[in-house]
Structure 1
Amino acid sequence: MVRHTGQPAYLQIADDLRAQIRGGSLAPGAPLPSTTKLAEQYDASLSVVKLAVGVLRTEGLVIGQQGKGVFVRDAAEEPPAAGEPTSEVAELRAAVQDLSARLAKVEEQLATSTTRRPGRSSR
């Protein structure tokens, strides 16, 4: 349960889950309880629990699998190096770069195709 200690609730939850992982009660490969179950267990909102799990993801202690859940990372697995983007981040960066290039082309085409009509004035 989350206590009123001045420390944010999501950090309290992350600390507790981290202790369970390091203590072995959440073994490598084991799934974390669902967000709903964790929210009930800690008497916290879903968003607070998601923040806590996000902290553990950032630390490389857990890994999410879309549609399957969040699992304790095996210590033998190499977490991403600090500053090294995950594959999701790399994909997002590539998509943004592609969209930026496409937008620049569209803007260029609009600039060259837009001309003022002679003889027209605005009053």
Structure 2
Amino acid sequence: MVRKTGRPGYLQIADDLRAQIRGGSLPPGEPLPSTAQLAEQYDASLSVVKMAVGLLRNEGLVIGQQGKGVFVREPDDTAEGDQADEAGTAPAEDLTGEVVKLRTAVQDLSRRLSRIEERLSQQSGS
């Protein structure tokens, strides 16, 4: 279940799934539960679950197989899941993960810029 800790739900879900993969309870080749099952398990929305799975795809821990599901990547798999699909477009989950990373980076930079502007205004007011 996603807790109200201030940490985004998709990161909590990704952390838990990552721990299960690294701990062996989700071994290589094992399918992840469906998005709907994960949403129910974590009491989260489908979009939050998709962002979490997208992060794991970007990290190379899981790989999607169209029409079959998302599977824990075998250790010897190449980075083919990080490449574009046959149509030449990146999978939607990969793009979602990238958008999440970019949003997080922008939020961090915005906070840092605000602190710098505040310090500058204090110095010029002194």
Q: Is TM-score (shorter-chain normalized) higher than 0.5?
A: yes
Deviation at 1:33, TM superposition (A): 0.2
Uncovered stretches (5+) of structure 1, i.e. residues with no partner: 94-123
Moved over 4 A (4+): none
Could you tell me the TM-score, scaled by structure 2's length? 0.66
Q: Deviations over 1:58-101 (max 9, x none)?
A: 00000001110000000121225xxxx603288139xxxxxxxx
Q: Partners in 2 of 1:58 and 1:16 — Cα distance?
A: 16
**TM-score, normalising length from structure 1?**
0.67
1:92 aligns with 2:105: no
CA distance in 2, matches of 1:36, 1:51: 13
Structure 2 unaligned blocks of 5 or more: 91-126
User: What letter is aligned with 1:27?
Assistant: P
Which residue of structure 1 aligns with residue 22 of structure 2? 22
In the alignment, which residue of structure 1 is the partner of 2:51? 51
Distance in 2 between residues matched to 1:12 and 1:89, nearest whole Å: 32
How many residues in Structure 1 have an aligned counterpart in Structure 2? 89
C-alpha deviations, 1:1-52, integer Å up to 9, x for none? 0001111000000000000000000000000000000000000000000000
Alignment map for 1:1-123 (pairs within 5 Å) = 1-79=1-79, 86-88=83-85, 91-92=88-89
Per residue, is there more helix in 1 or in 2? 2
Highest CA radius of gyration, 1 or 2? Answer: 1
